Amino acid sequence: MKNNLNKMSIYQLKQLFSQLLLNELKNCRFGILVSYELSMKKRICFIKMIKKENIKININLSYIKKSNFVINCSLIPKVYYCCFFIVHLVKQLESVKQVLPKSYFEGLTYYNAIEIYNYKKTGIYSPILHRCNKNKRSYCMRPIEIYCAIKAIEKIVMMKQLELTDNDRKTLNAFKETLLQYSYLPEISYIKKRIPVYTVINSLKEIAKFIEKNPDMINEFPILTLASFNKMKKLTIRDLFLTCAESNNDFLIELAIRLVAFFHFAYTLDYKNNDYERVIEEMKKYISTYAKFHGKISMQENYFLQDNFSAVKNAVKEINCFLCMNGITVSSGNIHFII
């Protein structure tokens, strides 16, 4: 049976993929146009928003068939994985217009979704399909790709009809844990090149460009109404920091920490203002999280985690300096070596 599945024709593969997408996206608010290509490019698909109400998805069947998967298996688990990956991408494009993020990581996926809305078209890549013996850096890896991969793995390991072995599930869950380690402190992305960039800086710059061209887009996305993006032309890092630091919103508090960490932002806090207590506590938690994962991540051979770990290490130095400048003591004994 498995041999027959591996020998599926392109027509049969299209039929299977189309049926899976139809079942998973039957309640989707978007009109979805699916097409297929046979390209040697290492992407799952292209995605393009049409008048912000319809989505065109061009799926690369050639890469799905020939790509390296994290386990040795028939073609079917790969097809299901790729289908669920695309489904969760579409769901994030829905969610960004409807709800606020529940975490900083989810907020970054929403920023990526806003970028997809505003680009002419976006190539989508999967971290699990880029895995190979040489462990090369990926062509494109952002929070939204990591999020979709985590969700897709969670779904396929639960499916009995895929006939995965216990070892297959163990390997898939181990790879998912690697991605989850990134999601705890998600600081870098690969954008079109294999050189990492700071995720939040790249997204803020891109969104600023979009807002300057179309200020009304702020009202389309709840996440953009949280901060003072309506004053984009006059908005400074200090203004954005104050808005975020004085907020009770989880995403904005975490964003304030990154403004300190990656914009080399020096600001003396007003101790009479109790609104800063939470952001200070979250900065201390950030440092504690770094200390917790330091040994585990520094030993990883995964380039993505290594690059992210370097960014986190730099962030901790900046946060520590910021706290020291404001006369705030960090109690964690595990971080003395970074000063």
**Cα of 42 vs its chain's centroid, Å:** 18
Where do the domains of the chain lie?
A: 2-197, 236-338
The percent of residues above 70 in pLDDT, for the chain, comes to: 84
Residue 190 forms beta bridges with which residues? 141, 196
> Can you tell me the distance from the alpha carbon of 214 to that of 338, in angstroms, rounded to the nearest whole number?
43
Could you count the other beta carbons within 10 Å of the beta carbon of residue 24?
17
Reported as half-sphere exposure (CB side, CA atoms, 13 A), residue 10 has a value of 11
> Can you tell me the distance from the alpha carbon of 124 to that of 138, in angstroms, rounded to the nearest whole number?
12
Per-residue pLDDT of 272-288, as tens digits, reads: 566 788 899 999 999 99
**Of residues 17, 27, 90, the one with CA closest to residue 56:** 90
**Of residues 275, 283, 222, 218, the one with CA closest to residue 255:** 283
Per-residue pLDDT of 246-261, as tens digits, reads: 888 999 999 999 999 9
> Can you tell me the distance from the alpha carbon of 311 to that of 306, in angstroms, rounded to the nearest whole number?
9
Query: At 136, which amino acid appears?
Result: K
**Of residues 26, 145, 158, the one with CA closest to residue 80:** 158
> Can you tell me the distance from the alpha carbon of 54 to that of 50, in angstroms, rounded to the nearest whole number?
5
Residue carrying the six token digits 């990926």: 138
Query: At 262, which amino acid appears?
Result: F
> Can you tell me the distance from the alpha carbon of 319 to that of 255, in angstroms, rounded to the nearest whole number?
13
Whole-number pLDDT of residue 47: 95
Per-residue pLDDT of 92-137, as tens digits, reads: 999 999 999 999 999 999 999 999 999 989 999 888 755 544 455 5
> Can you tell me the distance from the alpha carbon of 24 to that of 50, in angstroms, rounded to the nearest whole number?
21
**Cα of 86 vs its chain's centroid, Å:** 14
Which H helix or E strand runs over 285? Answer: helix 277-298
pTM, two decimals, is: 0.90
Q: Which two tokens stand for residue 337?
A: 């070596």
